[in-house]
Amino acid sequence: MTFSLTKKFDNGVRIGTLITPHGMIETPFFMPVGTVGSVKAMAPWELKELGADIVLSNTYHLYLRPGEQLIKSLGGLHKFMGWDKPILTDSGGYQVFSLGDRGGKKNGSLVKITEEGVTFQSHLDGSKHLFTPEKVIDIQLDLGVDILMPLDVCPSGNATPKEIEKAVELTIKWAKRAKEHFDRAIFSNEKWKMKNGKLPTRPMLHGIVQGGLDPALRKYCAEELIKLDFDGYSVGGLAVDFETRDMWEIVKLMGEILPEDKQRYLMGVGTPDDIIHAVKLGMDMFDCVLPTRLARHASVYVRNSGVLLTENVDNHFELINLLNSQYRTDGDVIDENCGCDACNRGLTKAYIAHLLHSNEILGLRLATSHNLWQYLNLMKELKG
């Protein structure tokens, strides 16, 4: 058993432990996004100091550059990026299907989906590639990560009901193939066989529930994946664009029907207030580009000190933009209750605003560090 649910509060928050090849993590937790093996503007040791226990990287991007075989030859992704804690990789499916959206009907799609897998053109050089459920598993095993995601079909937020139904059926078919291939790869490898009477901790594979905002399709997809007995379950397709913001009915449903004894991962969500809501609906794992992406646009989160986490409101946090003129002369830190390096060392909004206006890298680093601290500290508070 890799996941143990240790406590469940009356408000729905679940506390558990997840054991991975690179250490134990307490849930709920947030994963800073390190798409190409680096969380933007942050060094691995800085992430540890901020309280990160796990990071997320992207299969699609690492496969195209520098290539999983190179990373494997250099000791795996952990050694390659200087990170000795757990790593989760998404399948790259979302990135691949995004190429199809960018290609458009007029210019011809960069993506072709068949039963076998998905053929796509690299966004780097236009070269053609094929992702099958089996190949995506092999890439992630070569990277040496702790938690793997199978290839799934992630429809856009404005997909038609027929398109969503087709995506669900193909996601289930690919999930079966991925699970079978993963099991063969793991249980045929000497590395994962019992030694000295003990089984080593092996990587984990999640199933990804799709189905758009259709409760019946979501329930069907979840039930089919549960039959396959994945190590954990992910809820995908709810953070792809604006049309999916009305997602809470689906998140609530997933919290009710996904196995209690398996970790639940709400993919790509979201703002701090989104995470608070989702944790109370039974979700355990989160990732999002917002804390780093917003920081690069000078936007930082400030905790509303007058609102308690126990309150069911949507304004626990406020987002401010330090490029606004009012902050040029503001002598206060971003958030007096924050423990990031900027706030903890008394660096003012005026100073950080000056750095950002001057396009100084330090400004981006300080804003990023601040936002990540807010997210990671929030997870600690939610555990009580």
Rounded to the nearest 10 degrees, the angle between the axes of helix 272-280 and helix 248-257 is 40
Q: How far is CA 191 from CA 134, 144, 294, in A?
A: 20, 12, 41
pLDDT number for residue 245 = 65
Ramachandran category for residue 73: left, alpha or beta (phi over 0 → left; psi -120 to 50 → alpha): alpha
Which of 174, 89, 189, 179 lies closest to 139 in space, CA to CA? Answer: 89
Percent of the chain with pLDDT over 90: 84
Region for residue 75 given its phi and psi (left: phi exceeds 0; alpha: psi -120 to 50; beta: otherwise):
left
pTM: 0.96
What CATH number should be reported for the domain whose range is 3-287?
A: 3.20.20.105
What's the CA gap between 301 and 310, in Å, rounded? 19
Q: Is 90 a catalytic residue?
A: yes
User: Which residue out of 273, 284, 287, 335 is catalytically annotated?
Assistant: 287
pLDDT of residue 244: 53
**Angle, alpha carbons 150-156-159 (nearest 5°):** 120
d(CA 363, CA 361): 5
Nearest to 237 by CA among 109, 91, 136: 91
Looking at 53, 90, 152, 284, which residue is catalytic?
90
Q: What is the pLDDT of residue 105?
A: 42
Digit-by-digit pLDDT tens for the chain (384 residues) are: 699 999 999 999 999 999 999 999 999 999 999 999 999 999 999 999 999 999 999 999 999 999 999 999 999 999 999 999 999 999 988 888 787 764 444 345 689 999 999 999 998 999 999 999 999 999 999 999 999 999 999 988 788 999 999 999 999 999 999 999 999 999 898 888 877 888 789 999 999 999 999 999 999 999 999 999 999 999 999 987 655 568 999 999 999 999 999 999 999 999 999 999 999 999 999 999 999 999 999 999 999 988 989 888 889 999 999 999 999 999 999 999 999 999 999 999 999 999 999 999 999 999 999 999 999 999 999 998
Would you state the pLDDT for residue 74?
98
Q: Which residues of 138-168 are buried (b: 16+ CB within 10 A; e: fewer)?
A: ebbbbbbbbbbbbbbbbbbbebeeeebbebb
CATH 3.20.20.105 range(s) for the chain read 3-287
Helix, strand, or coil (residue 30): strand
287 carries an active-site annotation: yes
